[in-house]
Amino acid sequence: MRLLDLYLGRTILNQVLLVMSVLAGIFMFVTFVDQISYLGTGRYGLWDAMWFVLLSTPRIIYEVFPMAVLLGAILGLSLLALGSELIVMRSSGISISQITAAALKLGVVLAVLALVIGEFVAPRNETMAQRVRAAALESSIERKGNFGLWMRDKNMYVNIGEVLPDLTLQDVRIFEFDGDCTANLRLYGCYFFVKNWHVSWHACSCNNKLICLELPPSHHRPHLIISDTLACLCVTKNT
């Protein structure tokens, strides 16, 4: 049985790697094409786009992993059936349950590998990819530490104190620097980057100015704007 497990596992694994290489290659190419439109923006060049795609590879592999394993297993078993090897196994006294168990052993190993990639490798690389891309585009700068998440939009700085498990943003502060004058606004609201929006206003004062969020249609990212009205903007998801 050990020899059978190794043979079946090697055959299926070869097909899984083949399918995963094709699917990952396609998704990496699509990601690269999507980055072409940003070339020339800020310091974002061809090397930055390639580096972004390379750092995004673990996330892409994790996304195509289930499909690649399924198609690879089907192709591997079909290849064995095409060469009548399954018939030889059955005629030698090996049951269908034993063949299935041999294939499932490889499945357990691949599941553990997918868990490691999805929980440890992909999140870290994806964070690095987004930071490298943002730095090259010169559109935002973020720093993660004990003081929350910092982002920059031209002369405005946004500080997010806490992100809850349901993606609610809490303790949000926005700073706008205009020469010697600094506008400081503390938002006690939250918002979601989703298609449906609900906007509510609350009275407050901020040096006669307010930095709030301009909500575009659909699910595009909100824009930061400055308003002379004394109000705070809180955006929440429609229920």
Question: Is residue 79 scored above 90 in pLDDT?
Answer: yes
Which of 60-74, 87-101, 119-133, 160-174 ranks highest by mean pLDDT?
Answer: 60-74
pLDDT score at 41: 85
Q: Is the dihedral of CA 131, 133, 134, 138 positive or negative?
A: positive
Q: Which one-letter amino acid corresponds to residue 51? A: W
Q: In this predicted model, what pLDDT tens digit does every residue of 45-59 receive, in sequence order?
A: 999 999 999 999 999
Q: In this predicted model, what pLDDT tens digit does every residue of 203-236 receive, in sequence order?
A: 333 444 444 444 444 444 444 434 433 333 433 3
In the numeric block, the tokens 């690095």 are attached to: 128
Q: Is the dihedral of CA 100, 106, 109, 110 positive or negative?
A: negative
What is the average per-residue pLDDT within 65-83? 95
Q: Is the dihedral of CA 173, 178, 180, 183 positive or negative?
A: negative
- Beta strand 148-153 pairing with 143-145: antiparallel
How many other CB atoms are there within 10 angstroms of residue 169's CB atom? 20
How many other CB atoms are there within 10 angstroms of residue 170's CB atom? 14
Q: From CA 48, how far away is CA 137, in angstroms rounded?
A: 9
pLDDT score at 59: 94
Q: What is the largest CA-CA distance in the chain?
A: 87
pTM: 0.61
- Beta strand 210-214 pairing with 223-227: antiparallel
Q: What is the mean pLDDT of the chain?
A: 75
Domain extents in the chain: 2-137, 143-236
